[in-house]
A and B are shown apart, each in its own frame.
Chain A
Amino acid sequence: MTFSMKRIYAIFQKDLKDVTKNYFVSSIIILPIIMAFLYSRIGEVTIELHYLIINLALSSVTAFIQCAVIAEEKEKHTLRSLMLSPASLTEILTGKSLVSFILTVVTIVLCAMITGYSPTNISIIAIAIIVSVLFYLALGTILGLLSRTVVEASVIILPVIFLFGFGSMLMALVDQYPILAFVEYLPNIQLVEIAYKVEEGLGFGDIWSHLGILVAWAIVTSILTAFVYKKKEMD
């Protein structure tokens, strides 16, 4: 397996130029920012609402942009050309994830500034959000690889935006519908749990189980991404 920063940077640079000219994809970052503005007008924003916006940013900006960018590469046959180049799976996927990663970080920071979210322990929250971003990048990549066109990708991603963006709303239904118990283990819910515990003044020792579940999600989806990519490398 090769790892060339030059190749990763080349793919990143290309994607940055391409995404900034692709208004259909790049305009999605407006969605969580508008939500942040609306909630900031209401008054005091609760942790629940801060994370409704952050989770929406993760599912819409991270997963959607990644999914759309990969799906477009497939649709226009440019992914095949990349696969036939000396760039390895790691280089291609890292290079292709950087733009979504940076746009996500910028969006979340902007949203946090708008809603006035200032976590008690920034390092724990930063780690939890970065692990979450990795999970959503992998999820977006898988869905992008499975889509044939950008239009198809933008439909496939909708359940993801609903489940992970607004999934915390489903928590209210868990008592009534035990079948929804799995929702408690979703990465978006784990992120909210971590945020609550951080605000209670708890440290790494108290949030490790939630962080562990988040890491597990990220690892499983990354392995799945590599598997799907390898399958798609061959017709």
Chain B
Amino acid sequence: MEKIIEVKNLAKVFGNQTALENVNFNVKKGETFGFLGPSGSGKTTTIKILTAQLQQTSGEAEVFGVPSTSLTNGSYRRRIGVLSDNSGLYQRLSVEENLKLYCDLYDVPKKRMDEVLDLVNLSGETKKVVSKLSKGMLQRVLLARTLLHEPELLFLDEPTSALDPANSKQIHEGLRRLNEKGTTIFLTTHDMSEAETLCDRVAFLNKGKIQLLGEPKALRRQYADGSITIELKDGNIINLPGGTEGADEVYQYMSSNQIVSIHSNEPTLGDIFVDITGRELV
């Protein structure tokens, strides 16, 4: 499959502080790729390098087969959408006026505004002045603006960090629909459930280094210890080890018809991250 992003031996040093070190990964066309890590792990630095907002110290970062620095060219700018904490809105203008500017900049018909506002559940808020919006609404307007020109490649830096669960769910559904239509999504988050819901592959970033990379399901299987949890009719919940020892006990409970449910114990992505890095994802 065609690679949209290709990163080789990427490094970024600020003064005497290493933000990224020997980072290698690629993102395939149509994929949702999650870049996961706690604050300060280098996620935003990576997005900035990939979107030509920052020059790497060494290594290669290619987007659409060209060095990411070429993305300053308008024709490439049309193909990407960027939502980060560096994105801003005009506070004195309405939602509609903010979006209208970007319709003109990207040469997009105005009717597209309704589609993206519907996607982020803000259809009735077009006349509202941005300074009167809540943080969650601001984030949704920013996302709507990012999606206006239907970019081939979306860079989303913590897109749902300011949203409540209901709005996050709606954004996730919208992003899934976009991805089904072929949009490639590069997502940074420290929300593991978001990553599990959306991402085809994830990379764990810690202190500027990729610690693990793979499909969420495969990673969970890889780090599963084979243990199981059974719930008994008397209300007890028992954890059993994998292998013959656990199997014998399960057999006993089953023979005596005591079992309500059996679950395999797979770790969450958050558990795996803590396991590998020794750090919590905050």
Contacts and interface: CB of A to CB of B under 8 A. Distances in A.
Interface string B99-117: 0111011110000000000
Nearest to B85: A77
B89 interface: yes
B101 A14 contact: yes
Nearest to B81: A84
A76 B54 contact: no
Contacts of A44: none
A6 B104 contact: yes
Interface string A11-53: 1011001100110000000000000000000000000000000
B55 A234 contact: yes
Interface stretch (A85-93, A134-142, A220-228): A85-93
A235 B14 CA distance: 11
Nearest to A87: B105
B86 interface: yes
Q: How large is the interface on B (under 10, 10 to 19, 20 to 34, 35 or more residues)?
A: 20 to 34
B53 interface: yes
A86 B74 CA distance: 4
Contacts of B53: 80, 83-84, 233-235
Given A14-B97, A14-B101, A81 B87 contact: yes
A7 interface: yes
Contact of B54 (A6, A14, A235): A235
B74 A14 contact: no
Contacts of A118: none
Contacts of A21: 92
B271 to A, nearest CB: 34
Nearest to B74: A86
A46 to B, nearest CB: 41
Contacts of A22: 92
A78 B90 CA distance: 7
Contacts of A18: 90, 92-93
A2 interface: yes
Contact of A10 (B89, B91, B93, B105): B105
B216 to A, nearest CB: 29
A76 B85 CA distance: 11
B90 A84 contact: no
A88 B48 contact: no
A81 B51 CA distance: 12
Q: 3 closest A-B pairs (Cβ-Cβ)?
A: A77-B88, A10-B104, A86-B74
Interface of B: 48, 51-55, 72, 74-75, 77-78, 80, 82, 85-93, 97, 100-102, 104-107, 145
Interface of A: 2, 6-7, 9-11, 13-14, 17-18, 21-22, 76-78, 80-88, 233-235
18 contacts: A2-B74, A7-B104, A10-B100, A10-B101, A10-B104, A17-B92, A17-B93, A17-B97, A76-B91, A78-B88, A80-B87, A82-B105, A84-B53, A85-B77, A86-B75, A86-B78, A86-B106, A233-B53
